[in-house]
A and B are shown apart, each in its own frame.
Chain A
């Protein structure tokens, strides 16, 4: 992102600096000079020549962390600007503490070409509040037939490829995608779902779907595909990342694959470590999402997978929809939830309940996704671009969708009492968000 204004110089005093890339967690000062991290250590004393131009910020009681990275969002632009735009989506992102988002290619037109990737990056440069990392398509037009042009996509700025929203049903195409992506060391992100097993399902298959008469999506539909993709990743030695892991069986498969040394990483989203299928009892479409909300047992397994490192990253799968897509019969409503402005307190909840240490939580929200995407973010080391999130871990409040900057309101966490929020966000040394 090109600075819209001159990047400033700041010193964050006495915050709890958590920088997982360097295993740092302690009271420190962070000095930002001209858009870059200049120094991170306790009690930095500024020379007289700096005192006038460096803004002092009291961060005591706050966490100062590398800017959060959401590796799975849908910005809806180009094509569905009534749901979200690059501007509104990145505005929502910075309000939620994020300094970078990876946007999925299921736009209209599909991001399967250098042209669309360049369009997204141009828009983000002029209108975006944070960094945008476009994800290109695995297959041309997301049609599951021919490979998209990965070399062109990567040269234009795509950080990964994915047919997210649609599974790659053809095993040969997935094999070829992994092989071909290997040429460019490009990450392949799998939306793992066997759409024949999910068979038009509307929610998790089990007692609740049976009771409600809603066709079920068995956990097996996700697990079968994860198993396939792990085997193909082993065969091709390519870089595979599993998106939105939702079931206990999936966690077990990924854990086993990592144990065998296969090059696989995985993400989950707050809904999968927080919410269960029982919420659908009243047919409320805000809870309709794919993969579907699953059982309490799955939620426990996802938390265990986060705790033991099986799941590397927490993304949101921010998927904006308006009343046009959601105020419908459950069967006809679109899948998806927004999450950019509700994710951080739910991640911090994992620290408060002992699932993750602060270092682990920030790793999963910043340095790990940055590392998986191979983008130069996710650390406060000297010389890095000053993408910084200051977190107030104590702030207690109720999530209210009416305060959101996203253009959509389909957030299942609306009305939830939570703790922790972003206080200040810097991207490249520019203040892009400051709590009111």
Chain B
């Protein structure tokens, strides 16, 4: 199948076949990342602008490496949303950049829906690299790729996402993607961080780790922001760590082949203990590696002139 979208704004909008297509293409592109010369001319002459209104070294670097490995020219604009009080608006910034004819905007923004606003006002493709608490589609795609690498399937798996679900765009995109692909997603954390409405998105909610860890094939641990304490969502990081922190003791009843994931950056000793982060079940660095491949796939699908470019994807064999 082909991918006909102008933008990638969220996983919720995607069909199962589209997700499969991106994952298949990502697997093909991983091969490039294993070469000694990690560059192909696929997007030569294309311009990718990283528009980052929120600090994020890793996502921007991952997108930048992905674009450069496909030979696109990349530019980074970083702004802070606080400067917009005196500065120009998001739309003005975008219109100025658009006058220079970029092909793709990769947008990170603290406000949910900001990439959607841009997408409505530009001819260029927009990739949502994380918007507020809304979606982070490339993260969900790399999570799905990583789980599939290790489990050989997504269908029928039990995935437990632990932590601050309410504030997490990663959790939302993962819930959409994984449930579309047939996984059962369970959300675990205190009720202050998991509004009941998440059940309407197809996930189960569980407030006790001991009730969901034994069945888990995958445990995805989310970063806990320190501010949550001041927002009266938690009494202390200490208590959070005791009740919901993933430590070897909490994993005693877990499956032998459970994998531990984290979208980063980690608060070691808060939501995850160093022993688990660096332990045998951890696939956290595989996520980072897969991030580049997935972002190459997404850039390729959105930036290609579908008629004129050679087909670098090849049919992937089911593992």
CB distance from A186 to the nearest CB of B (A): 37
Whether the pair A213, B84 counts as a contact (CB closer than 8 A) is no
Q: Is A26 an interface residue (CB 8 A)?
A: no
As a 0/1 sequence over residues 209 to 224 of chain A, the CB contacts with chain B under 8 angstroms (1 = contact) are: 1111111100000000
A331 contacts B111, C-beta separation under 8 Å: yes
For chain B, residues 70 to 92, give those with C-beta under 8 angstroms from any C-beta of chain A: 81, 84, 89-91
Q: A329-B117, A332-B84 are in contact. Are A211 and B201 (CB under 8 A)?
A: yes
What is the CA–CA distance of A330 and B90 in the complex, to the nearest angstrom? 12
Is B34 engaged at the interface, CB distance under 8 Å to the other chain?
no
Contacts A329-B90, A331-B132 given: A283-B201 contact, CB under 8 Å?
no
- Contacting chain A: which of B151-159, B192-200, B247-255, B262-270? B192-200
Tell me the count of chain B residues lying within 8 A, CB to CB, of chain A: 27
Nearest chain A CB to B202's CB is how many angstroms away? 11
Measured between beta carbons, the chain A residues less than 8 angstroms from B135 are 213
Let me know if B102 is at the binding interface, CB within 8 A: no
Nearest chain A CB to B222's CB is how many angstroms away? 14
Q: Are A330 and B111 in contact (CB under 8 A)?
A: yes
Q: Which residues of B contact A207 (CB under 8 A)?
A: 197, 200-201
Hey, which chain A residues are within 8 Å of B90, CB to CB?
328-329
Q: Is A58 close to B, CB under 8 A?
A: no
Which residues from chain B contact A329 at a C-beta distance below 8 Å? 81, 90, 109, 111, 113-114, 117
Does more than half of chain A's interface fall in helix, strand or loop, or is it mixed? loop
Nearest to B131 among chain A residues (CB) is A213
Q: With the chains together, A211 CA to B134 CA distance in Å?
A: 7
Cα(A215)–Cα(B166), bound, Å? 9
Contact B112 A213 (CB under 8 A): yes
Taking CB as reference atom, which chain B residue is nearest A215? B133
Q: What per-residue 1/0 map shows which CB atoms of A259-296 lie under 8 Å from chain B?
A: 00000000000000000000000110000000000000
- Report chain B residues within 8 Å CB of A210: 166, 195, 197-198, 200-201
> How near does chain B come to A72, taking the closest CB pair, in angstroms?
28
Task: Confirm or deny: A393 has a beta carbon within 8 angstroms of a beta carbon on chain B.
Answer: no
In the bound complex, CA of A210 to CA of B111 (Å): 14
Is A8's beta carbon under 8 Å from chain B? no
B112–A283 CB distance below 8 A: yes
Beyond known contacts A211-B201, A214-B134: 8 more, CB 8 A cutoff? A209-B197, A210-B166, A210-B197, A210-B200, A283-B112, A329-B114, A330-B111, A330-B113
Shortest 6 CB-CB contacts between residues of A and residues of B: A283-B113, A213-B133, A213-B134, A329-B111, A210-B197, A331-B111
20 residue pairs bridging A and B, Cβ less than 8 Å apart: A206-B197, A210-B166, A211-B197, A213-B112, A213-B133, A213-B135, A214-B113, A214-B133, A215-B133, A283-B117, A328-B90, A328-B91, A328-B117, A329-B90, A329-B109, A329-B114, A330-B117, A331-B112, A331-B132, A332-B111
Interface residues of B, Cβ cutoff 8 Å to A: 12, 81, 84, 89-91, 109-114, 116-117, 131-135, 166, 169, 172, 195, 197-198, 200-201
Residues of A in contact with B (beta carbons under 8 Å apart): 205-207, 209-216, 282-283, 327-332
